[in-house]
Amino acid sequence: MVKMTIIGAGSAEFSAELMTDVLSSPGLPTGTFALVDIDPVRLKLAHDVGEQLIERTGREWTVESSTDRTELLAGTDYLINTIEVDGLANVRHDYDIPLTYGVDQCIGDTIGPGGLFKALRTLPAWIDILRDADRLCPEAMIFNYTNPMSLTVLTGSRVTTQPIFGLCHSITHTVEELAGMLEVPSSELTYRAAGVNHLSWILDLRHKGVDVYPRLRELSEDRDIAEKDLIRFETMKHLGAFPTETSGHSSEYTQFFRKRPDLIDEFARSGYRGESGFYANNWPTWRSEADDRLRRALSDEEPLEIERGPEYASYMMEAIETDQPVEVYVNVPNSGLVDNLPVDGVVEVQARVDGHGIHPQVFGSLPTHLASLDRAHMAFHDLVATSVIGKDREAAVHALMIDPLTSAVCSLAEIRALFDEMAEAERDYLPSYLNP
C-alpha cells in the first residue's frame, strides 16, 4: 500500500490524470491519494473526482484532502509537486510588459522574462514545501511537474537531500510527433536524447536500426510538412538535431527566431507553433474550461475518461513497487551524466527505474554547439536559484541579462528597466527582497 501526495492538487484536471494513471496500474492495487491545495474550492473538485474515479475503477484506494499540507505529509511515499503560484494574477504582466521592450514570448513560463518571474513567485513556496517534507516525510521520493522544470529541480536539490526527479513528457511527445511525420509506429523508433528541459536534443533516431535523419531532412523540404513545426525543422537544418519542445517553446530558448518582427513573421505560426502571447491569451480560459469539464463529468453530463496516459509518475511508482523495470526521462542534477555540461546544474537524461530506485544513465557528451546553447540556460538557472535561496536581487537581474532571447533584443539598461517594471507590477506576489 502506497501513499501518493499531490501538492497543488487544485489543478484538478492534471490531478485527475495522475490518479487515473495510478488506478489503471496493475501493480498499484491499494493506496491513498492525499490531495493538498490552498484553494478549497478547486481542492474539493479534485477530491470529488478522485472519489468518483475510485468508485468507477473499483480499486482499493482512498482519498483524503486538506488545505494544510502538514496534516497529510506524514507517511508519504511519493510526493508530487504540481503547484502554480499566483499565475492568474500575473500571466498578463509576464507577457505584456516584456512585449513593450520588444521581447515577444509565445509561452513564457519556463525561460525569458515570464519564466524568470514565474520562478521568483514559485520557488519560495517550493522551498517551504521541501522544508516540511524534510521534517514530516523524509523518506519520500519527490516527483516534480511544476515549471520552470529545471529551475524547480535545481533549487530543490540545493535545499534538501531528498531525491527530486523532474518529469516532463516533451522528449517522448517529440518522438511520437516525429513517428507521425515518418509514418511509422513510435514503438518502432529507437533514440538517444539529452540536454536541459525544453532544450534537449534528439541526437540519434532510428527505425529498425536505420538512421531516419536523412528522411527527416527530405521531409523538411516539403513545405506542407515543414509548416507543421517550422522552427524545429529550421533548427534541425542548421544545427543538425531536432529539439524536444514545441516550435513555440523552442523559439524562446534561443536567440534566432523572435528577436525581430520580420523573423517572427517568417517563422512563427499559430498556437504552440510560435504564436505571440499564446499562453497568456489562452491559459486562464483553458484552466476554467478544464474545471467545468470535470464538474460536468461529476454530474454525468459527459464521460469521465478512465484510461492510463503517458505521464511517467504511475509507471515509475509501479516499477519501484513491483521491480518491473521501465525506461523514462528525468531532470536531475548533473552528476557526470552529460560530461560537457556544468556539474552544478540540472540535465535531462534517460533513467532506468526498478525495485532498487531510479537510476539516471550516463549520456556522454553533447555536440559542442548544442552544449553551448544548453550551458547558457544552465547559467540562467544558477543565477535564479542563487537569487531565491540567497535573497539576492541582483542575481535575478543578471539572470535576465543573460537570457538568450532578452539579451538578443535589449540593452543592459533596458533589461534592468524591464526587470524593475515587472517587479513593481508583481510586487504583491514576490518576496520583499525583489522590491525595486
Tens digit of each residue's pLDDT (9 = 90 or more) over 117-142? 999 999 999 999 999 999 999 999 99
Average pLDDT on 364-383 reads 98
The whole domain housing 253 covers 88-115+169-276+326-436
Residue 171 has pLDDT above 90, yes or no: yes
Show which of 313, 339, 360 is a domain's final residue.
Answer: 313
Q: Are residue 121 and residue 201 in the same domain, yes or no?
A: no
Q: Are residue 153 and residue 178 in the same domain, yes or no?
A: no
Q: Are residue 92 and residue 128 in the same domain, yes or no?
A: no
Average pLDDT on 164-172 reads 97
The answer to the question of residue 285 being in a domain is no
Q: Are residue 393 and residue 435 in the same domain, yes or no?
A: yes
Using pLDDT thresholds of 50, 70 and 90, give the confidence band for residue 339: very high
The answer to the question of residue 238 being in a domain is yes
Q: Are residue 376 and residue 404 in the same domain, yes or no?
A: yes
Q: Are residue 69 and residue 152 in the same domain, yes or no?
A: yes
Average pLDDT on 162-178 reads 97
pLDDT tens per residue across span 182-192: 999 999 999 99
Q: What is the CATH number of the domain that holds 220?
A: 3.90.1820.10
The grid coordinates of residue 11 equal: 489543478
Q: What is the CATH number of the domain that holds 36?
A: 3.40.50.720
The answer to the question of residue 59 being in a domain is yes
Residue 436 has pLDDT above 90, yes or no: no
Q: Of 47, 169, 359, 377, which one is the catalytic site residue?
A: 169
Residue 414 has pLDDT above 90, yes or no: yes
Residue 54 has pLDDT above 90, yes or no: yes
The answer to the question of residue 74 being in a domain is yes
Q: Specify the amino acid at residue 366.
A: L
Q: Average pLDDT over the chain, rounded to whole?
A: 97
Q: Are residue 340 and residue 394 in the same domain, yes or no?
A: yes
Q: Are residue 272 and residue 193 in the same domain, yes or no?
A: yes
Residue 284 has pLDDT above 90, yes or no: yes
Q: Are residue 402 and residue 338 in the same domain, yes or no?
A: yes
pTM of the model: 0.98
Residue 305 has pLDDT above 90, yes or no: no
Q: Are residue 218 and residue 72 in the same domain, yes or no?
A: no
Residue 92 has pLDDT above 90, yes or no: yes
Asked if 207 is an active-site residue, the reply is: no
Query: How many domains are contained in the chain?
Result: 2
